[in-house]
Structure 1
Amino acid sequence: MKIESVQTIVTCPGRNFVTVKVMTDEGVHGLGDATLNGRELAVQAYLDEHVIPCLIGRDPRNLEDIWQYLYRGAYWRRGPVTMTAIAAIDMALWDIKGKLAGMPVYQLLGGRSRWGLMVYGHANGRDHAEAVEAVQRHVEQGYKAIRVQSGVPGLGKVYGVGKGGGHYEPAEKGLPSEEPWDTSLYLRHTPELFRKVRDAVGFGPLLLHDAHHRLTPIEAARLGKALEPFSLFWLEDATPAENQEAFRLIRQHTTTPLAVGEVFNSVWDCKTLISEQLVDYIRATIVHAGGITHVRRIADFAAMYQVRTGFHGATDLSPVCMAAAVNFGLWAPNFGIQELMPHSELTDAVFPHNYRFEDGYLVMDEVPGLGVDIDEALAAKYPYERAYLPVARLADGAMWHW
């Protein structure tokens, strides 16, 4: 069996996605997600110009060798563009292998460790009252775990809060918008938000919160300590993790569980965090961290230190990546939780898939491969539209962490 052709498909059914379709000379194809939010065409160009020509004629069943070839052979290793491109090919090859075996990918990984993946949804509001109402709606919808974000008085826009009470989508069409940030306002506001949520729904639902890299280590420690009475499942991205050792300071001051890693590209980005047990959940995504082949190594390494997975699952991951994440999570012995931001009906129509939400969990049937496909005719109706994530500035105009 040989790889006969590889196609990149860019579509925008409400937001941009890049999909790789690997086709074999025996008529079996596999899909991979290559979406890098705000840099989609960079990955497409890397694939079309540098990766795909090297794959034609290779045996798609040798996915380990192909992964090593794309990683070691590039010399300039890692980085979001390279690792997203590798991930897309890797997912597609796992999809092919599962179809050839007549098994779901989770069976090839070693079989089920659980019947479904507990997920957390996103509840947000322009103020505390709206956020509390959103939490209550999620409880009614069957969510066992809920991320809570709220607007901050004095700030016009805040990360994690949708427009008009709708789902939050950070990417905006056109050039990047700029949003104000004030850490002192946020730190005064957030503990009170969680006090009100616990008063409204009690301690049954698991609650999460995302600081989105906005805090210094000592500010993150202060917030984690202030949130301890409300028993959070985790505090996410408390501070930028380029300096992994910064989490030592946070750990010294709070017992609130910590999660980080949605922007990580390899095991090297989280080696110290895991080996020193400075975090409780690793959030690296399959699409941005080299695919199933590499994320499996991250998860196995994390398991040695009782660190669990908590993969990113926002709408910037296509249903192809979500299908891969469900397969991976069904297998992973140290699975913790899976983020779930539901895609639009149009996106789901472009990417028909088998996984589904049931009573707080993502489940899927015993279908070969990843259990996802693409309607290419429908995808072609929605061409790429430039979109960016916002940028953040302090009151004095200085750039801040997004």
Structure 2
Amino acid sequence: MSKIERAEVFVASPGRTFVTLRITTSDGVTGHGDATLNGRELAVASYLRDHLVPLLIGKDPARIEDMWQYLYRGAYWRRGPVTMTAISAVDTALWDIKGKVAGLPVYQLLGGRSRDGVTVYSHASGTDVPSLLDDVERFLDLGYKAVRAQAAVPDVGGSYGVRKGKVYEPAATSLPDEQPWDTEAYLRFAPTYLEAVRERFGFGFHLLHDVHHRLTPIEAARFGKSVEDSALFWMEDPTPAENQEAFRLIRQHTTTPIAVGEVLNSIWDVQHLITEQLIDYVRTTVVHAGGITHLRRIFDLAALYQVRTGSHGATDLSPVSLAAAVHVDITVPNFGIQEYMGHADETMEVFRNGVTFADGMLHPSEEPGLGVAYDEKAAERFPYRARYLPVARRLDGSVHDW
């Protein structure tokens, strides 16, 4: 019987920092998992190396469910982003191995296709309204059927989501960038540029917007009501999710759909949001929510309440996570949409991509497993660099949600 013989943790910064787990069986089969937690990468790397890897050696790689329960319930200390990201890496790597052993892509092991492809959205942004409109046009010309729109609030340097280079990456390379924020200026400005997008391009595509936790519940309700004529596919993270009852207040004031979940990491974190139908899309990810095994449980619960999926897919999720997400997305009946930003050229020197883009959709590889490879030698050219996400401060100097 095959056993786990080796588990290695790689930390590299090709374009941004990724933590990658590689598990090798006694039969020589390898599987990869993503263990990246943006800005806290070394915490997960240590959790894996110092606490989980010793537990894996000698175990049966085919017992994925048992391994998940062993690492989650057996540790006593449960949940949290560091723990769940580490478990995710193990779980994803074991699914990769299972697919290779079976000679099938992972999605076939999950029940096969429920759709022909996975509809994705990408990020259009601009330093002002004209440059945003030009960027939206660029994505529509590339074949996207869904686009997220963000523009810099005039005279406010801390606007979220505005790309500075080819790929949007907010993490800085030293200490956190402290950025100013003005909620009232945002509430006045953002609805105007979303309306401008609709005026120029019409309603033949999905338009999304990310509030990024920056509003109070009543402010979010005000925003959602103000953009109803723009027919947003969703407003993302309108308020921090610690107080989940807050979303009921938003619901009372607007019909704009709500998407939440990229910073949540277990079914228990989203249970109330789903069962009380306080959200329309759940954005939990394969890398932060316990891997393929646990993400499917979240999506199954969501399906019972007509909540659809909309998984986070920023550049801090490696190509391993992206491939795993697409394998799940293409199988679940309540799929909604998948975020897709692409990766920097340096990233793709280290990872072989496991998905292809065509006609506004991603398609999984037909290779056994996830179809992703990790080039350890190439990764050595990109040593670890510390990066931090920004911190937002109101104009009076107090800390705000970034």
How many residues were matched structurally? 401
Who is 2:16 aligned against? 15
Asked if the contact 1:90/1:291 (under 8 Å) is kept, the reply is: yes
User: 5+ residue gaps in structure 2?
Assistant: none
Q: Does 1:127 align with 2:128?
A: yes
Structure 1 contact 3–58 (Cα < 8 Å) conserved: yes
Secondary structure at the aligned position of 1:232 is classed as: coil
User: What do the CA deviations read for 1:23-51 (whole angstroms, capped 9, x no partner)?
Assistant: 00000010000000000000000000011
Amino acid at match of 2:395: A
User: Corresponding residue for 1:387?
Assistant: 387
Residue deviations 1:196-245 (CA, integer Å, cap 9, x gap): 11111011121000000000000000000000001000000000011111
Instruction: Decide whether the 8 Å contact of 1:31 with 1:95 is kept in 2.
Output: yes
| Structure 1 partner of 2:138 | 137
Map of 1:54 onto structure 2? 55
Q: Where do 1:209-288 residues align within 5 Å?
A: 209-288=209-288
* Runs of at least 4 residues off by over 3 Å: none
One-letter amino acid of the structure 1 residue matched with residue 116 of structure 2: W
Residue in structure 2 matched with residue 65 of structure 1 by the alignment = 66
Query: How large is the RMSD of aligned CA atoms in angstroms?
Result: 0.8
Q: Deviations over 1:109-154 (max 9, x none)?
A: 1111011100001000001111111101111110000000000012
Alignment-derived partner of residue 305 in structure 1: 305
Verify: 1:28 aligned to 2:17, yes or no.
Answer: no
Where 2:189 maps in the other structure, the secondary structure is helix
* TM superposition shift of 1:90: 0.2
Match of 2:94 in 1: 93
In the other structure, the counterpart of 1:150 is 151
Task: Give the Cα–Cα distance (whole angstroms) in 2 for the partners of residues 156 and 181 of structure 1.
Answer: 7
Q: Is the 8 A contact 1:242 1:269 kept in 2?
A: no
Q: Provide the C-alpha distance between the structure 1 equivalents of 2:385 and 2:154, rounded to a whole number of angstroms.
A: 33
Separation in structure 1 between the aligned mates of residue 352 and residue 14 of structure 2, nearest angstrom: 13
- Aligned residue type for 1:115: D
Residue pair 2:319, 2:354 contacting (<8 A) in 1 also = no
SS in 2 for 1:153: coil
**What runs of 5+ residues in structure 1 fail to find an aligned partner?**
none
2 CA distance for matches of 1:354 and 1:387?
26
CA apart distance, 1:345: 1.9
Structure 2 CA distance, aligned partners of 1:53 and 1:373? Answer: 24
TM-score with structure 2 length normalisation?
Answer: 0.99
Q: Following TM superposition, by how much is the alpha carbon of 1:365 offset from its aligned partner in structure 2, in angstroms?
A: 3.6
**Percent of aligned pairs with the same residue?**
63
Note the C-alpha offset of 1:14.
1.2
Alpha carbons 1:118, 1:361 under 8 Å: kept: yes
Secondary structure at the aligned position of 2:330 is classed as: helix
Do residues 183 (structure 1) and 183 (structure 2) align? yes
SS at match of 2:135: helix
CA distance in 2: counterparts of 1:382 and 1:349, whole angstroms: 10
**Partner Cα separation in structure 1 for residue 372 and residue 301 of structure 2:** 28
Task: Tell me the amino acid that sits aligned with residue 105 of structure 2.
Answer: P
Give 1:369-380 correspondences, 5 Å limit.
369-380=369-380
**Distance in 2 separating the partners of 1:152 and 1:158:** 6
Does the aligned pair in 1 maintain the 2:167–2:343 contact within 8 Å?
A: no
TM-score by length of 1: 0.99
1:349 to partner: Cα distance? 2.2
